[in-house]
């Protein structure tokens, strides 16, 4: 007699999938954390021009992600795996990523900005080849609602550790190497090696995962079909549309906050090195609270857990507005609270996405994850762009690494607002959207009773 049981994902696959978060977390964190500051305070690129430097590569990424999703679905149907694209992405990443921080000495600010744009485009292309199929994998690995939460719990725990190591250790490496262009180059080389190791760890760990079923009509996905399928899912699947909107708003909120952190450290707290402690306060709590968030979701559901974490984040970031009038070390307490919330905001949307993909049809999982990645990329890219635009409009003065210039009061206020009120308002907007989310119905997976 058949009965419904939960099929546990093998430990090797869980560990392998989690390892990929070293790559995704590091790549998503370091450019968003230091690239804007690197452009304005090391390469002397004016803030408004630097806005274009960080936006253009992300626009490219948004354009190619749905096509990569279709290629991922094609590979899954023809080969029963998504690993080929992920491998190509991992081994080509160093060319662009290291190049971003290897700007030749003596280039004028505009030329230096152009160099960074080209290298960033190369890096984002490689990253897309890995990230898009990586996001589609959980729906391939299991049909179990609970197992996906378990899988994502381990992934987000490793993600938090990776963000902590890269976000705090990267600037630390930069400073230990003497700062300036040399410091950034050393940081880029070391971090790239770490990212590639994690990405290749996923390729090895999930090798042999079960094939994805073919599309309903038996056809092979094309790049154009990737766009069509992704946008069709956006129209036809309300849960996907709502979840994607929530995730983009929250990606933008965290992107703005991360991009502002280095400016807060330098111009609000008066110490560039304070970035390391800010990052420890923001990400460190995730390593402690992740098991609690997983248990809470098991009892109350993922949507309710996401709502709670979002409320905590909005409250914590709103409190940071007081830095305008009272700068000081007190900020680490609300930043820690934001870190507790950040763990849940990272975990639950990614744990909910495989449920939505399975309900919508796993054969277009790559197309849906491609559109998801494109939208996430747009949100994260807009974060530094928002900060740089605010700084440019309030008269921020760019400089070389040898000088930290005095800034006008309006620019100092804009730095704090970017770190506090802006992410709080974006998170509140995401909560309004989240109220419309309804969990998709998932069919149980029947397996034979061994008895």
Q: Determine the structural domain holding residue 301 and report its residue range.
A: 16-200+229-439
Which has the higher per-residue pLDDT, 178 or 403?
A: 178
Inside any domain, residue 213: no
Give the CATH number for residue 286: 1.20.1250.20
pLDDT score of 448 more than 50: no
Mean pLDDT throughout 236-261?
90
Q: Which residues contact 178 (CB under 8 A, 6 or more apart)?
A: none
pTM: 0.71
Mean pLDDT of the chain: 83
Residue 439 phi, psi (nearest 5)? -65, 135
Mean pLDDT throughout 45-74?
84
Which has the higher per-residue pLDDT, 272 or 180?
A: 180
- Measured CA to CA, the distance from residue 144 to residue 149 in angstroms comes to 9
Terminal C-alpha separation, the chain: 9
Model pLDDT for residues 193-248, shown as the tens digit of each residue: 999 999 999 988 887 655 444 444 445 445 556 567 767 777 888 888 999 999 99
Inside any domain, residue 237: yes
Q: What is the pLDDT of residue 442?
A: 53
Inside any domain, residue 367: yes
Asked if 279 and 265 touch (Cβ cutoff 8 Å), the reply is no
Which has the higher per-residue pLDDT, 193 or 374?
A: 193
β-partners of residue 431 are none
Inside any domain, residue 209: no
Q: Any idea what the Cα angle at residue 49 is, between residues 421 and 35, rounded to 5°?
A: 65
pLDDT score of 289 more than 70: yes
Q: For 412, how many CA atoms within 13 A lie in the half-sphere containing its CB?
A: 16
Place of tokens 């939460």: 149
Q: Is 179 helix (H, G, I), strand (E, B) or coil?
A: coil
Inside any domain, residue 3: no
Mean pLDDT throughout 1-6?
41
Model pLDDT for residues 121-157, shown as the tens digit of each residue: 999 999 999 988 888 787 777 777 677 767 777 887 7
Model pLDDT for residues 81-115, shown as the tens digit of each residue: 788 899 999 999 999 999 999 999 889 999 999 99
- Measured CA to CA, the distance from residue 368 to residue 385 in angstroms comes to 26
Inside any domain, residue 219: no
pLDDT score of 394 more than 80: yes
331: left (phi over 0), alpha (psi -120 to 50) or beta: alpha
Q: What is the pLDDT of residue 231?
A: 73
Q: How many domains does the chain have?
A: 1
Inside any domain, residue 398: yes
Of 390, 409, 433, 76, give the one whose Cα is nearest residue 243: 433
Inside any domain, residue 10: no
Q: What is the pLDDT of residue 216?
A: 46
Asked if 417 and 321 touch (Cβ cutoff 8 Å), the reply is yes
């Amino acid at each position: 007699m058949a009965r419904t049981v939960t099929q546990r994902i093998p430990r090797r696959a869980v560990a392998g999938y989690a390892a990929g978060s070293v790559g995704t977390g590091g790549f998503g964190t370091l450019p968003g954390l230091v690239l804007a500051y690197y452009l304005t305070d090391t390469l002397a690129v004016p803030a408004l021009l630097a806005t274009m430097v960080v936006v253009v590569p992300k626009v490219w990424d948004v354009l190619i992600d749905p096509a990569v999703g279709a290629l991922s679905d094609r590979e899954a149907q023809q080969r029963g795996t998504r690993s080929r694209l992920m491998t190509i992405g991992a081994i080509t990443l160093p060319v662009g990523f290291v190049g971003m921080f290897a700007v030749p000495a003596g280039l004028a600010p505009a030329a230096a900005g152009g160099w960074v744009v080209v290298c960033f485009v190369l890096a984002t292309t490689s990253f897309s080849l890995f990230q898009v199929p990586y996001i589609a994998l959980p729906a391939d690995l299991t049909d179990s609602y609970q197992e996906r939460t378990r899988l994502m719990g381990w992934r987000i725990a490793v993600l938090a550790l990776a963000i902590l190591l890269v976000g705090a250790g990267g600037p630390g490496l930069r400073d230990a190497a003497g700062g300036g262009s040399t410091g950034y180059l050393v940081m880029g080389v070391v971090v790239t090696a770490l990212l590639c190791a994690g990405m290749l760890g996923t390729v090895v760990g999930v090798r042999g995962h079960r094939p994805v079923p073919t599309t309903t009509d038996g056809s092979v996905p094309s790049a154009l079909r990737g766009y069509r399928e992704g946008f069709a899912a956006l129209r036809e699947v309300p849960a996907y549309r709502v979840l994607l909107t929530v995730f983009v708003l929250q990606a933008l909120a965290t992107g703005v906050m991360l991009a502002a952190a280095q400016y807060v450290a330098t111009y609000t707290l008066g110490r560039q090195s304070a970035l390391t402690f800010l990052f420890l306060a923001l990400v460190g709590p995730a390593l402690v609270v992740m098991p609690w968030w997983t248990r809470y979701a098991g009892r109350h559901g993922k949507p309710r857990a996401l709502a709670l974490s979002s409320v905590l984040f909005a409250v914590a970031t709103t409190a940071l507005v007081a830095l305008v009038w009272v700068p000081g070390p007190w900020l680490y307490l609300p930043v820690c609270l934001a870190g507790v919330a950040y763990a849940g905001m990272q975990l639950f949307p990614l744990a909910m996405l495989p449920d939505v993909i399975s309900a919508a049809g796993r054969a277009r999982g790559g197309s849906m994850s491609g559109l998801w990645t494109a939208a996430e990329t747009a949100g994260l890219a807009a974060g530094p762009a928002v900060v740089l635009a605010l700084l440019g409009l309030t008269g921020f003065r760019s400089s070389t690494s040898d000088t930290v210039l005095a800034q006008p009061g309006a620019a100092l206020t804009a730095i704090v607002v970017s770190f506090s009120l802006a992410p709080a308002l974006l998170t509140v907007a995401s909560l309004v959207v989240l109220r419309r989310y309804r969990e998709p119905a998932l069919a149980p997976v029947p397996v034979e009773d061994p008895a």
